[in-house]
């Protein structure tokens, strides 16, 4: 059985859908905090069990019978994130999981400027220490994050953000398809995968050009000093740790941490990944 955590989230939900195109529903299980939100999956024959990263025993129960576990990283940072991941990994070991697949990120490294990438590196260390077969899915930076940064520009026409560098913005749909392919071809990757990225890395100067082309409206790119960006974020109600986290993405991008592009994602899904322009057009049509 393949068990998926976070199956009501953006990536987990899409991955389950792709899995159901490949294997019978009774070969798939999900671990979710609130089973009511996964009732639709239960109705289709997927095994649904409650599992909370704050309740180790519930995870052991939810992971029971897993030949493979897709462990979707938590939406937390720092020690709180790593502690939750440690709980899940320990539960997987206790449950006798055959292989753990973890949604890591391109640029995962202990010396990354971006906290989340440092958390991913520490989690990969925990996986390595289990002695179990494991795969770290080095996912490209989610394009949905770029859409959040562009939300104000969508209305003003001015992409006013800190200095950046090229980022391989990658879509959830494509990553879900690749994840399902890996899960149904056990042992395809051992340890970290190559970067699972879109076919191009773009800075926000290029994004402005793409937005202009997609919408037919002019978009400009204004570089905001880091300190000013942080103050603006705080003024709009962002807690200081979140403001610092957002700023660190730009620092990491300037350092080239998200520049790599690789053909592996295209090979896994059997086509070129969605372009940023296509993703922007779809997001802004909603």
> Where do the structural domains in the chain lie, given as residue ranges?
2-139+172-196+261-269
Rounded CA-CA distance 182/125 in Å is 21
> What is the per-residue pLDDT across 198-244, written as a single tens digit (0 to 9) for each?
999 999 999 999 999 999 999 999 999 999 999 999 999 999 999 99
Q: What is the dihedral of CA 166, 73, 82, 64, to 10 degrees?
A: -160
Rounded CA-CA distance 160/98 in Å is 47
Confidence of residue 188 (pLDDT cuts 50, 70, 90): confident
Contact between residue 72 and residue 9 where contact means Cβ atoms under 8 Å apart: yes
The pTM for the full model equals 0.94
> What is the per-residue pLDDT across 22-64, written as a single tens digit (0 to 9) for each?
999 999 999 999 999 999 999 999 999 999 988 999 999 999 9
> What is the per-residue pLDDT across 250-266, written as a single tens digit (0 to 9) for each?
999 999 999 999 999 99
Confidence of residue 185 (pLDDT cuts 50, 70, 90): confident
Class of domain 2-139+172-196+261-269: alpha beta
């Amino acid at each position: 059985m393949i068990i998926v955590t976070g199956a009501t989230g953006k990536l987990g939900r899409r991955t389950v859908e792709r899995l159901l195109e490949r294997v019978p529903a009774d070969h798939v299980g999900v671990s979710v905090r609130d089973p009511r939100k996964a009732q639709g999956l239960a109705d289709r024959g997927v095994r649904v069990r409650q599992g909370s990263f704050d309740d180790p025993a519930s995870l052991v129960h939810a992971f029971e019978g897993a030949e493979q576990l897709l462990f979707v990283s938590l939406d937390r940072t720092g020690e709180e994130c790593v502690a939750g991941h440690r709980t899940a990994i320990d539960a997987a070991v206790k449950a006798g999981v055959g292989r753990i697949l973890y949604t890591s990120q391109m640029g995962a490294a202990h010396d990354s400027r971006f906290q989340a990438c440092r958390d991913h590196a520490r989690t990969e260390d925990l996986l390595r220490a289990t002695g179990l077969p494991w795969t770290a899915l080095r996912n490209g930076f989610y394009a949905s994050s770029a859409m959040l940064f562009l939300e104000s520009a969508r209305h003003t026409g001015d992409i006013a953000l800190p200095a950046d560098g090229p980022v391989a913005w990658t879509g959830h749909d494509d990553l879900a398809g690749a994840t399902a392919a890996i899960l149904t071809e056990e042992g395809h990757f051992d340890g970290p995968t190559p970067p699972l990225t879109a076919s191009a890395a773009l800075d926000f100067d290029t994004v402005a050009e793409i937005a202009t082309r997609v919408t037919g409206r002019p978009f400009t790119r204004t570089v905001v000093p880091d300190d000013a960006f942080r103050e603006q974020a705080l003024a709009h109600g962002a807690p200081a740790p979140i403001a610092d986290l957002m700023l660190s993405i730009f620092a990491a991008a300037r350092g080239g941490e998200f520049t790599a592009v690789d053909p592996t994602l295209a090979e896994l899904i059997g086509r070129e990944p969605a372009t940023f322009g296509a993703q922007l057009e779809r997001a802004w049509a909603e």
